Amino acid sequence: MKKILITAMISLALFRNVALASILVIIVLGAYINSAPAILSKGDAIFFALKGVDFIVQKMHDPIYGGFYTTIGPNGEIVHPSNTQKDAAAAAITSLAMWETYHHLSDPKYRDMAIEAADQMLKNWNQKYGGFNNYVERDWTNPDTLHLWVDNSMTTIALLRTYEETGNLIYKEKAIAAMDYVIDHLWYAPYGNFDHEVYADGSYTSNSHGVGEWVEAWGILASWKAYDMTGDSRYRDFALSCAQFERDYLYDAGVGSFYHFWRDGTIVDNRHKFSAQSIEALVVTYRHTGDTQWIELAKNLLNYGKMNLYETEYQYMYHHEGDSVFHRMIGYHTFHLFNSYEITNDLDFLELAVSILETYSKHFYSDQYGAFVVEYWDPEGIGQIVAECVYLDHQAFTILAFWKYFDVMMIPSRINIAPNTINLKSEGEWITAYIELPEGHDVNDINVTTVMLNDTVPAELYPTEVGDYDSDTIPDLMLKFNRTAVSEFILSKGIMYGNVTLTLTGQLYNGTSFEGSDTIMVRMPGDVNCDGKVDIRDVALVAIRFGKSNPDPYYDMDEDGVIDIRDIAITAVNFGKVYA
């Protein structure tokens, strides 16, 4: 890049060749833009999450019978009768998305929607045979005769989450009943794995004894969730057996990835795909067992995807090997990658998730419809293939991904601000902040140019220093802020005395955001005890400390490190003032 810029400047300076210089600059800037990772802001994450939620609430919620349509046209139109069917798995992911939205916004309408989605799952319960039907019709009649393991595993996870949120035992009981059903009817003992599907009565279909890696992945996740909630060792054993099945029968050690589909001992689809669900399932297995083989296997799957399916120019992931277009399903893969990062704190998971979510938000979101409606995106510019329908489960997974992005990209940090008592009319030059990051993050990675105090006052670029201000053995970064600017900001809020919370935000060089707050005391001149008025008590508080060096800054009116006649004078001059 430097060489091209130098050539451009020479062309312009020596030969006045503006055209050549312009072309070269465009080339280098284009190369730079394509190579530099773009980072979504917190506001972007909230925007896309809420757009997805609003689309589901306004266009996919059934106003007559309740519950949520499985698919819908991008304008909310019914483009096929099957669109209005109520799918158990889609309702499960919708419930999880609504719970996350409720926790981020504290709006009870999203809690109610989460519970309604959970109740939709209950209506998919097969009263005769047990287990969850794949779908029912809009009016809750005519249930599908198939029982899919994916549906039952997703509903197990979502119902247990709803039980945790509400304390209503019906959700826990049905979740455990679903696990017991699949153990009785979908467990394939010869290989120690969960089957793809059976009829409701437990009889086999033409697709029985066949599984893809995503089927086993959801089995692992649901089994661990059931084990965590009940302590029943059966669920732990099933989770481990499924993980071992993936390792022994689906894993292609030669390339470091899973085959796409297996049936009764034979690989029937030998394509390799990006296995984000299995990455999280193996990471969760590692968390429960401490056995490093599972995290190593998860990292192998991740590295295969990065090396063979990741398109570096567009920073996106092909779904299968041999694909020429990008698929909407990658939207929910980011959700699993963010979960894996939260467990391991391994930045490899985070960086890939951020990269593909950024591209997903650019090319799959439609401003016209206010939803993620593009089914495929052709990176070569031949054209986009737009889906006839918006898929409830993929919309919900996208919501979860953006809330996860919001959470993991905001590292909680510890902030100490000095002095902890500020005279808003003081002539001091600086306010100092000390930033500590949690384990796994380095304060040397903080990009000082991004650090702001209350989104208003930027940090000074120097001086900065890494040390241990509070002697807790955790490194902290010292930054300075213009004191006058901070005081003016506080005064602009109508605050003249009392406690004020100041919040620092910023980013690491890899784009990860951090945030932390500290509460300080502010006052006007002469108001020693910060009660909004200057009276004899303030004069007395200064006078009895006359002559002290390095005093508590609470009593040092001019903040020069000593209580002297000037501090008494400041208090006396302002005697009788009352501050708003």
Give the mean pLDDT of 268-273.
86
Instruction: For residues 210 and 237, state if they share a domain.
Output: yes
What domain count does the chain have?
3
Per-chain mean pLDDT for the chain: 85
| Confidence grade of residue 580 (pLDDT, cut at 50, 70, 90) | low
Nearest to 494 by CA among 520, 532, 548: 532
Cα 527 → chain centroid: 45
User: pLDDT tens for residues 522-541?
Assistant: 887 788 887 888 888 888 88
Instruction: For residues 399 and 415, state if they share a domain.
Output: no
Instruction: For residues 266 and 287, state if they share a domain.
Output: yes
Instruction: For residues 144 and 184, state if they share a domain.
Output: yes
- Which pLDDT belongs to residue 443? 96
| 441 found inside a domain | yes
| Helices 169-185 and 108-123: angle between axes, nearest 10 degrees | 40
**CATH number of the structural domain spanning residue 422:** 2.60.40
pLDDT at 470 over 50: yes
Give the mean pLDDT of 150-171.
94
User: pLDDT tens for residues 487-519?
Assistant: 999 989 888 878 899 999 998 887 778 888 899
pLDDT at 144 over 90: no
Contact 285, 279 (CB under 8 A): no
- Which pLDDT belongs to residue 494? 86
Instruction: For residues 159 and 193, state if they share a domain.
Output: yes
| 29 found inside a domain | yes
Q: Where are the beta strands (DSSP E) in 312-387?
A: 316-317, 326-327, 365-366, 371-372, 374-377, 385-386
Instruction: For residues 153 and 165, state if they share a domain.
Output: yes
pLDDT at 198 over 90: no
User: pLDDT tens for residues 386-426?
Assistant: 776 788 999 999 999 999 998 887 787 899 999 888 888 77
d(CA 294, CA 243): 8
On whether the pTM is more than 0.75, the answer is: no
User: pLDDT tens for residues 82-132?
Assistant: 778 888 889 999 999 999 999 999 999 999 999 999 999 999 898 888 888
Give the mean pLDDT of 329-351.
87
Instruction: For residues 59 and 28, state if they share a domain.
Output: no
Instruction: For residues 149 and 255, state if they share a domain.
Output: yes
Residues whose CB is less than 8 angstroms from the CB of residue 479 and which lie 6 or more positions away in sequence, other chains included: 432, 433, 434, 435, 448, 451, 459, 460, 464
| Confidence grade of residue 452 (pLDDT, cut at 50, 70, 90) | very high
- Which pLDDT belongs to residue 32? 32
User: pLDDT tens for residues 7-45?
Assistant: 333 333 433 444 433 333 333 333 332 333 345 777 889
Instruction: For residues 380 and 449, state if they share a domain.
Output: no
> Which domain, by its residues, includes 24?
2-35
Instruction: For residues 28 and 17, state if they share a domain.
Output: yes
- Which pLDDT belongs to residue 19? 41
- Which pLDDT belongs to residue 538? 81
- Which pLDDT belongs to residue 138? 87
Q: Which amino acid type is present at position 341? A: Y
- Residue scoring higher pLDDT (187 or 207): 187
Nearest to 394 by CA among 410, 409, 376, 419: 376
